[in-house]
Amino acid sequence: MSMQGPLATSRSATGIPTGRLGVWWLLASEIFIFGGLIACYILYRLNNPWWGGEAVFTKVPAGAFNTFVLLTSSLFIVLAHDAAEKKDFDRAFKFIWYTIGGGGVFLLVKYYEYSSKLFADDPELLKTPLTNTYWSFYYTATGLHALHVIGGMVIMALISFDLRKGFNPHRVELIGLYWHFVDIVWIFLFPLLYIAK
Partner 1 sequence: MGQTTVTHDSHAAHGHDHHEQSFIMKYFFSTDHKIIGLQYMFTGMFMAIVGGYFAYAFRMQLAFPGMEVPLYGTVGPGQYNMLITNHGAIMIFWVAMPVLIAAFGNILIPLMIGCDDMVFPRLNRLSYQIFLLSVVVLFMSFFVQGGGFGGAWTSYPPLSAVAEYNLTDWGASLWLIAVALEFVAFLIGGINFVTTSMNARAPGMRMTDIPIVVWMIVLASIMFMASVGPLIAGSVMLLMDQRVGTTFFVPSGGGDPVLWQHLFWFFGHPEVYVVLLPALGIVAEIMTTFARKKLFGYKTILYTTFATGGLAFVVWAHHQFIAGIDPRMANIFLVTTLLISIPIAEILFSYVATLYGGSIEFRTPMLWALGFLVTFLLGGVTGIYLGSSALDIYFHDSYFVIAHFHSTFFPIAIIGMFAGLYHWYPKMFGRMMDETLGKIHFWGTIIPFNGIFLPLFLVGMAGQHRRIYNFQHFPDLATADLQGIRVFATVSLVTMLLFQFVFAYNFFVSMFKGEKAPANPWKSNTLEWTVPSPPPHGNFAELPTVYRGPYEYSVPGNKEDYWPQNMPDRN
> Would you tell me how many other CB atoms lie within 10 Å of the CB of residue 71?
14
By the 8 A CB rule, do 120 and 176 touch?
A: no
Among the residue ranges 36-44, 67-75, 98-106, 163-171, the one whose residues contact partner 1 (CB under 8 A): 36-44
Number of residues in contact with partner 1 under rule CB under 8 A: 42
Is 144 a binding residue for partner 1 by CB under 8 A? The answer is yes
CB closer to partner 1, 21 vs 196: 21
Q: In whole angstroms, what is the distance from residue 81 CA to residue 4 CA?
A: 25
CA distances to 66, 81, 134, 164, 196 from 179, rounded to whole Å, are: 14, 12, 27, 20, 25
Q: Phi/psi of residue 86, each to 5°? A: -85, 10
Q: Considering only residues 122, 123, 130, 165, which one is a binding residue for partner 1 as defined by CB under 8 A?
A: 130
Least CB distance from residue 157 to partner 1, whole Å? 18
Q: Considering only residues 35, 53, 151, 191, which one is a binding residue for partner 1 as defined by CB under 8 A?
A: 35
Is 167 a binding residue for partner 1 by CB under 8 A? The answer is no
With residues binned 3-state (H G I as helix, E B as strand, rest as coil), the percentages for the chain, rounded to 5, are 80, 0, 20
Q: Which residues in this chain contact partner 1 in the complex, by CB under 8 A?
A: 1, 3-9, 11-14, 16, 18, 21-22, 25-26, 28-37, 39-40, 43-44, 47-48, 129-130, 132-133, 136-137, 140, 144
